[in-house]
Each structure stands twice: as C-alpha cells, then as structure tokens.
C-alpha cells in the first residue's frame, strides 16, 4: 500500500478552526498543495484578511502578513513592488474584497499588479456571525437581511470577476467552487494558473471561489454544497471570465 | 482491497462530505465522539475502497489519509 | 551647496537621499509638490512610486513595502491624514518602520488649504485605535524640514515604529535656500523580521490579532516600554533668549517663526520674552518646561489653531505658573506685529499682577 493522499507538507499540524463543512478548509489545503507542487514555499508571501480566513497564518508554513480589513490588495502591492520575484497572494473574503476593500482590489487590478487574489465568496460575513455581504443573493436571509435581501434597500449581489474583467490590467479571472470533488479539482487548477500567471509576470490574477458556509446559511453541509450549484451559481456563473494568453 | 483510508479522529468534524461523495459509500458516521464533541466519520473496511481519494479531496479538515496498492 | 526649493520638494529630495525606495501618495493640497517631486525623482532612480487610489491604500502600501524590508514613505494633509490613522495603528502594532508626512491645513472637515496647526492632538495622541505612539517631528523651516527626514527614517528603523513629520501648508509650499550636504547615506538596521519568503529559515508571521488577552497585554506592555525609551532619549527642542526671560512663549513649526519676529520687537522695548520651540512634539519637552518654571512664572502658548499643544504645556506645568494663550485657527497666518501686540499686553498684565 502506497500513500495516495497525504496532508501537504507546507500545511502546518494545527487543526482548522473552521466550522464543519466550511469551504475555507478545502481552499487552505489546496493552496498549500499548489505551493508544494510548484515548489513555491520559499518564495510565497501571503496576505491574510480580516475574517474567517485570517487565521491562515496558523496553518500556512510560509511568510504571512495579516492586513487590516479590506487592505490586502494594497498591502500585497507594496510587498510585490519591493519583492517582485516573490509569489505574493492576498487571501480575501467577500466582505474583505467586495465591500470595504473594493477600491484597493479594483485599483490593484487596474494597475495590473502582478499579484494573485484568492477571493472566497461564501455570500455572508462569516466570522462576525452571518451578516449580509456584497455577494449575498437577492431575497437571501442573513442576520442583517432578516426578511431577505431586498435589492431596493440593500443592493444587488456583485460579480467581482465580471466587474474586474472590464479593467485592462487584469489577466486571469476565473470563478470556481469547492462544493464537490470535481469542483475542488478545478479550483486547484485555477489556483495553479493564477500563480503561474503571476510568476510569468503577465499581470493581475484573481480566483473567485464559491464556498459553502453551512453555519451561517443555516443549512446542512451537504445541502449547502447543493445550494451552491442549484442557486448560487446562477448569480455567480462558474468558469473562466478572462484569460489573457 | 485496492485501497484504504485512515481518518484522524481529532481533525474530523463529522461534516459528512466524505460520506456523501465517496463513490463506493465506504465511510459512515460513527457514534464515537472526539474531544471536540463531534461524531467522527469512520471507514467501513467491510466495503471495497478503491483508493480514489475523493474523500480526501472534499474533506475540509484534511482529516483523511488514503493508501492505495 | 544651497538650492532654492519648496519645502515639499526639499522633503522629497531628503527622502531620496535618506534611502527611501518606496513612496505612495495621493493628491491633496497643500502637499502635492511632494507627490509630484517623488513621481519624477523616484522614476529617474527606478524606485517605487505609486499614486494610489486613496490615502488608505497608500498607508497600506507603505505597510506592505515596510514589511518587505524597504524604507517607505507616504505624505498627505489633514483630511488624508485622518484616513491613514487605521494604517498607522497597524504599523505600530506590527512594529514596522515608516515615515508619514502631514502638511497640516485649515480644518476641521474640508477646511481650506491654508497652513494651520490644528492636527496636533491627532498627531501626538494618535488618531488610530489602541495604545500606540508615534514620534512626531515638527520642523520650523525648509532647511529643518530636510534635516528631520533622515532623522525620521533612522528613528523609524531604530524603534521599528512609524514616525510622523508634522509640517503645514506654508512650510511645504514656501521656498527657501536649502542644503543637503549633511545627509549621510542611510545606516544598515537589522531586518530579521521582514518577509522575504521562508528560504533557509522558518516562516515568519507578522500580525496584530492576538486573541489571547494575556498575549495582547504583554504585547502592549512591550510597546509601552518602547515608547518610554523614546520619551527618555528622543526629546528635541530649541530655546531662544530664555536665560533672562520673564515670559516664555511655547510655539512650534511655522508658528514659532512668527513668534521670533514678535520677540525681536518685544526685546527692542526691553520686554524679556523668550521662547521654547519643541522640535519633537511627541515626545514633548515637558522636563525642559518644568525646569524653566522654577524661575519663570508666565508661559505664553501660541498656536495656529484653537488650542491643542496648550494641553501638553498644562500637563508639563501641572498647575505651576500661569499659562497665557493666543490661537488663530482656520488657516489664519498671524503677523509678527500682531503677536508682538498680543504678547506685550499679556506681558504688562502679568507684570502688574506680580507687583
């Protein structure tokens, strides 16, 4: 018997703090798998957000910096400009990137900063208890849209990949999901392509990952995975949104 | 038996995704509690595991190690 | 060799000579000349220049550049400085060096673009969250503006802490002959904390989230010990005709220059007025003022605002002596004659009270 699957070397031993069935855990693991497979452990610098994903520095055995909420893209810009040969990626949630950090993300993309953004879209603010996020769907119930998100009062769910695709500085934008094995494998490929895009100096890359949040969606873990395909993916179509060769 | 898996009892949170997506349904939710108070998943070695690692791919807590002959 | 330059441009050149390799700025009067100067100069030298989308982005780019090991600087004016406060708190918490220039203008709110000193408390107390301090240097001339730049970078590296240069619109935009001859090439400081990719060493983690309250408390006391070291060894001030003074003016920056003009006139009429000019407004020269209070009863605080530094003077004197105050907020630039008349009146009323 040979080991067919083991924990990636660059993933530390610490147990994940994420809720059962949370997509962050899968994404964290995929990132370290990609970093191991591409041999990037000694070049990688990760900017952690504020939000559920912020404790990644307890799990990633690479250089990490925790940025203020929403400022990851600007911090990553500063790092990359000083250290162009490093692999610099900013891990951000939907509140971090699409709400408070919109300007920073938008302009890093517009400047074509050769950084990668791992954008975890789980439709709510997880860490703070399930409030509406910019990606909360219409009529979706959250703790701050108790009667369902009414677009007239609370706006529409924002499609970051499509918005950023309008910016000439962006080179690779893909939306994937981690709600089933096949999707997880595609997500891993997308992350690899984003990192390769950065290493090849082709400009700005962002991978938007639809991620289940059973606790705050008030669903079972399997139901949450299904909900992504049946409901969420309608608003956030899976696929490559932009790819400059 | 072409493959087998070992589940880290303390990492598992009983989210059942591995159970849901295992093609041969070789994993079940045991009635054993871990230190965090989760019922942990368990491998039914009576069933045929192919070592395809689908369970490990979908596991959010990196709790599954897969062996394959 | 002297050159005629605006304060903003001179500051930019001093930063370049001090080894600043990254500058991030956003347009705001009255400091645009600095951003523009850096755009040209940093470009010529192949160094990093970004005009960011906001002052918030700029301060966070500084944080990124600093954690990657570079000497980084940003500059703004009052409203922009307000936007940078969160970033400054994170720089202090993460113990990262940085130089932040604030050319103060009339406020609050949109205010105007005239010089003022109404951001004293924001700069010296810190407008961000948490127990943190920044050394705040308050130059009083274009030459001194260039002198404090290398000092600011060295203090930032020495203490691994953000340093604020507190100027004002006039200092930034007026032109004076200035020399850069005294700026020495930057020293090497240990950079064992920066992020370069975990090659040949364990991974590093720079963060300020400390869930464990004991850890957070210890982190706070560690920072407090650092600030105490700053307070004991980084105070800088200048005195002017204080030896025989009956009344001592306390003023800084461009305000102090106006006071100098007033004191010349007062002295012609044999009014014994002197001045102490803080160059670091944090740490504040409290001990020097306490020393003066042993022999002098009357202190006259002059500020181009409604009165903020007066609080530090009051704290320093702790009830001793008598504090006179004259302030002109809103971007008004009082003339030396105006000050001469006001100080003289306070001087005579104080003299009568002593009889």
CATH no. for residue C269?
A: 3.40.50.920
The residue from C216, C233, C250 where one domain ends is C233
Instruction: Output the pLDDT for position A245.
Output: 81
d(CA C143, CA C257): 13
d(CA A232, CA A17): 25
- Residue B64 near residue B55 (C-beta atoms within 8 A): yes
- Residue B15 near residue A21 (C-beta atoms within 8 A): yes
Same domain, C220 and C297: no
Same domain, C348 and C208: no
Determine the residue of chain C that is closest to A103 in CA distance: C53
- Region C190-202 average pLDDT: 97
- Residue A52 near residue A18 (C-beta atoms within 8 A): yes
Inform me whether the C-beta atom of residue A145 falls under 8 Å from chain C C-beta atoms. Answer: no
Instruction: Output the pLDDT for position C355.
Output: 77
Distance from CA of A189 to the nearest CA of B (A): 13
- Region C41-67 average pLDDT: 97
d(CA A244, CA A174): 12
Q: What is the dihedral of CA A13, A15, A20, A23, to 10 degrees?
A: -50
Task: Out of A48, A57, A79, name the one closest to residue C64 (CB).
Answer: A79
The answer on pLDDT for C325 being more than 80 is yes
CATH numbers and ranges of domains, chain A: 24-243 (3.40.50.970)
Task: Out of B17, B38, B69, name the one closest to residue A222 (CB).
Answer: B17
d(CA C153, CA C73): 9
Nearest to A74 by CA among C63, C177, C201, C124: C63
Same domain, C288 and C253: yes
Task: Out of C48, C69, C197, name the one closest to residue A44 (CB).
Answer: C197
Distance from CA of B38 to the nearest CA of A (A): 9
Number of domains comprising chain C: 2
In chain A, what residues touch C198 (CB-CB under 8 Å)?
Answer: 41-42, 44, 61-63
In sequence order, the β-bridge partners of residue A46 are A64, A89
Test B21 with A20 for CB contact under 8 angstroms.
no
Q: What percent of chain C has pLDDT over 90?
A: 99
Same domain, C167 and C109: yes
pLDDT per residue as tens digits for the range C255-275: 999 999 999 999 999 999 999
What are the Cα distances from residue B61, in Å, to A30, A49, B9, C40, C205?
A: 11, 20, 11, 51, 22
pLDDT per residue as tens digits for the range B13-31: 999 999 999 999 999 999 9
The DSSP element (H or E) to which C326 belongs, if any, is strand C322-327
In chain B, what residues touch A25 (CB-CB under 8 Å)?
Answer: 59-62
Question: How confident is residue C100, by pLDDT bands cut at 50, 70 and 90?
Answer: very high
The residue from C233, C261, C277 where one domain ends is C233
Task: Out of B15, B62, B67, name the one closest to residue A4 (CB).
Answer: B67
The residue from C233, C263, C298 where one domain ends is C233
Task: Out of A43, A47, A81, name the one closest to residue C197 (CB).
Answer: A43
Q: What is the CATH number of the domain that holds C94?
A: 3.40.50.970
Q: Both ends of chain A: CA-CA distance in Å? A: 42
Test A225 with B17 for CB contact under 8 angstroms.
yes
Return the structure tokens found at C43.
């470009």
In chain A, what residues touch C86 (CB-CB under 8 Å)?
Answer: 68
Question: How confident is residue C158, by pLDDT bands cut at 50, 70 and 90?
Answer: very high
Tens of each residue's pLDDT in chain A, 245 residues: 899 999 999 999 999 999 999 999 999 999 999 999 999 999 999 999 999 999 999 999 999 999 999 999 999 999 999 999 999 999 999 999 999 999 999 999 999 999 999 999 999 999 999 999 999 999 999 999 999 999 999 999 999 999 999 999 999 999 999 999 999 999 999 999 999 999 999 999 999 999 999 999 999 999 999 999 999 999 999 999 999 98
Same domain, C189 and C250: no
Test C208 with A79 for CB contact under 8 angstroms.
no
β-pairing, C72-76 vs C22-25, is: parallel
Determine the residue of chain B that is closest to A186 in CA distance: B57
Rg (CA), chain B: 11
The answer on pLDDT for B1 being more than 80 is no
- Residue C308 near residue C279 (C-beta atoms within 8 A): no
Helix (H, G, I), strand (E, B) or coil at C302: strand
C243 C-beta neighbours (distance < 10 Å), count:
8
By the 10 Å C-beta count (0-12 exposed, 13-18 middle, 19+ buried), A169 is classed as middle
Same domain, C211 and C285: no
SS3 letters for A107-173?
A: HHHHCCCCCEEEEEECCEECCCCCEECCCCCCCCCECCECCCCCHHHHCCCCCHHHHHHCCCCEEEE
Same domain, C242 and C218: no
Inform me whether the C-beta atom of residue A102 falls under 8 Å from chain C C-beta atoms. Answer: no
Domain that residue C281 falls in: 238-354
Return the structure tokens found at A128.
């703070």
Q: What percent of chain C has pLDDT over 70?
A: 100
What are the Cα distances from residue A2, in Å, to A227, A239, B65, C352?
A: 36, 34, 11, 99
Kindly list the residues of chain C whose beta carbon comes within 8 Å of any beta carbon in chain A: 21-22, 24, 48, 50, 52-54, 56-58, 60-70, 72, 86-87, 90, 94, 195-200, 203-209
Task: Out of A74, A79, A106, name the one closest to residue C67 (CB).
Answer: A79
d(CA A230, CA A216): 18
Same domain, C249 and C317: yes
Test B60 with A7 for CB contact under 8 angstroms.
no
Test B16 with A2 for CB contact under 8 angstroms.
no
Question: How confident is residue C252, by pLDDT bands cut at 50, 70 and 90?
Answer: very high
A54: DSSP letter: G
What are the Cα distances from residue C345, in Å, to A54, C266, C276, C340, C342?
A: 61, 11, 20, 9, 5
d(CA C280, CA C252): 9
Instruction: Output the pLDDT for position A125.
Output: 97
Kindly list the residues of chain B whose beta carbon comes within 8 Å of any beta carbon in chain A: 3-4, 10-11, 13-17, 20-21, 38, 51, 53-54, 56-62, 64-69
Same domain, C243 and C229: no
Nearest to B60 by CA among C256, A99, C106, A52: A52
d(CA A46, CA A77): 12
d(CA C139, CA C254): 8
Same domain, C195 and C282: no
Same domain, C145 and C211: yes
d(CA A137, CA C167): 48
Instruction: Output the pLDDT for position C336.
Output: 98
Test B65 with A180 for CB contact under 8 angstroms.
no
The predicted complex's ipTM stands at: 0.94
Same domain, C212 and C260: no
């Amino acid at each position: 018997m040979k080991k067919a699957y083991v924990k990636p070397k660059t993933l530390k031993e610490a147990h994940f703090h994420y809720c059962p069935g949370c997509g962050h855990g899968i994404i964290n693991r995929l990132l370290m798998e990609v970093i191991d497979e591409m041999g990037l452990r000694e070049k990688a610098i990760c900017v952690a957000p504020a939000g559920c994903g912020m404790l990644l520095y307890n799990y990633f055995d690479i250089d990490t910096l925790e940025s203020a909420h929403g400022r990851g893209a600007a911090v990553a810009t500063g790092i990359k400009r000083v250290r162009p040969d490093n692999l610099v990626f900013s891990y951000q949630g939907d509140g971090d990137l699409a709400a408070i950090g919109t300007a920073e993300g938008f302009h890093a993309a517009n400047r074509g900063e050769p950084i990668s953004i791992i954008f975890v879209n789980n439709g709510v603010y997880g860490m703070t208890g399930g409030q509406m996020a910019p990606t909360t769907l219409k009529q979706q119930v959250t703790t701050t849209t108790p009667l369902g998100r009414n677009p007239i009062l609370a706006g529409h769910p924002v499609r970051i990949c499509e918005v950023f695709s309008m910016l000439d500085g962006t080179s690779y934008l893909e939306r994937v999901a981690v709600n089933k094995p096949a999707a997880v494998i595609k997500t891993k490929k997308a992350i690899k392509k984003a990192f390769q895009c950065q290493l090849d100096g082709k400009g700005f890359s962002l991978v938007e990952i639809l991620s289940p949040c059973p606790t705050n969606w008030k669903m079972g873990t399997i139901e949450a995975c299904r909900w992504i395909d049946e409901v969420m993916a309608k608003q956030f179509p899976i696929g490559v949104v932009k790819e400059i060769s | 038996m072409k493959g087998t898996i070992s589940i880290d009892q303390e990492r598992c949170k009983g989210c059942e995704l591995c159970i849901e997506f295992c093609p041969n349904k070789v994993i079940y939710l045991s009635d054993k509690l871990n230190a965090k108070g989760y019922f942990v998943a368990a491998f039914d070695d009576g069933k045929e595991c192919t070592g395809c690692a689908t369970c490990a791919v979908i596991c959010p807590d990196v709790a599954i190690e897969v062996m394959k002959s | 060799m002297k050159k005629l330059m605006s304060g903003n441009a001179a500051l930019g050149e001093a930063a370049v000579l001090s080894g600043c390799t990254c500058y991030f700025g956003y347009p705001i009067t009255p400091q645009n000349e600095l951003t523009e100067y850096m755009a040209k100069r940093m470009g010529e030298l192949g160094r990093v220049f970004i005009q960011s989308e906001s002052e918030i982005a700029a301060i966070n780019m500084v944080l990124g550049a600093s954690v990657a090991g570079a000497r980084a600087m940003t500059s703004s004016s009052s409203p922009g400085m307000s936007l940078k406060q969160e970033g400054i708190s994170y720089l202090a918490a993460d113990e990262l060096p940085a130089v932040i220039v604030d050319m103060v203008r009339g406020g609050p709110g949109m205010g105007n673009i005239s010089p003022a000193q109404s951001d004293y408390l924001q700069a010296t107390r810190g407008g961000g969250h948490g127990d943190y301090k920044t050394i705040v240097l308050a130059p009083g001339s274009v030459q001194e503006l260039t002198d404090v730049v290398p000092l600011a970078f060295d203090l930032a590296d020495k203490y691994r802490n953000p340093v604020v240069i507190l100027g004002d619109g006039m200092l930034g935009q007026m032109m004076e002959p200035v020399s850069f001859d005294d700026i020495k090439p930057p020293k090497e400081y240990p950079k064992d904390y920066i992020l370069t990719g975990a090659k040949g060493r364990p991974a590093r983690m720079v963060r300020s989230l400390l869930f464990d309250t004991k850890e957070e408390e210890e982190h706070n006391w560690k920072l407090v010990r650092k600030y105490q070291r700053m307070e004991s060894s980084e105070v800088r001030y200048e005195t002017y005709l204080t030896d025989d003074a009956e009344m001592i003016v306390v003023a800084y920056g461009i305000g102090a220059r106006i006071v100098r003009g007033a004191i010349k006139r007062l002295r012609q009429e044999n009014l014994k007025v002197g001045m102490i000019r803080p160059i670091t407004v944090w740490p504040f020269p409290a001990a020097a003022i306490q020393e003066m209070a042993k022999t002098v009863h009357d202190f006259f605080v002059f500020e181009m605002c409604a009165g903020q530094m007066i609080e530090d003077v009051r704290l320093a004197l702790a009830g001793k002596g008598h504090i006179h105050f004259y302030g002109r907020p809103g971007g008004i630039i009082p003339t030396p004659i105006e000050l001469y008349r006001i100080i003289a009146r306070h001087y005579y009323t104080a003299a009568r009270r002593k009889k």
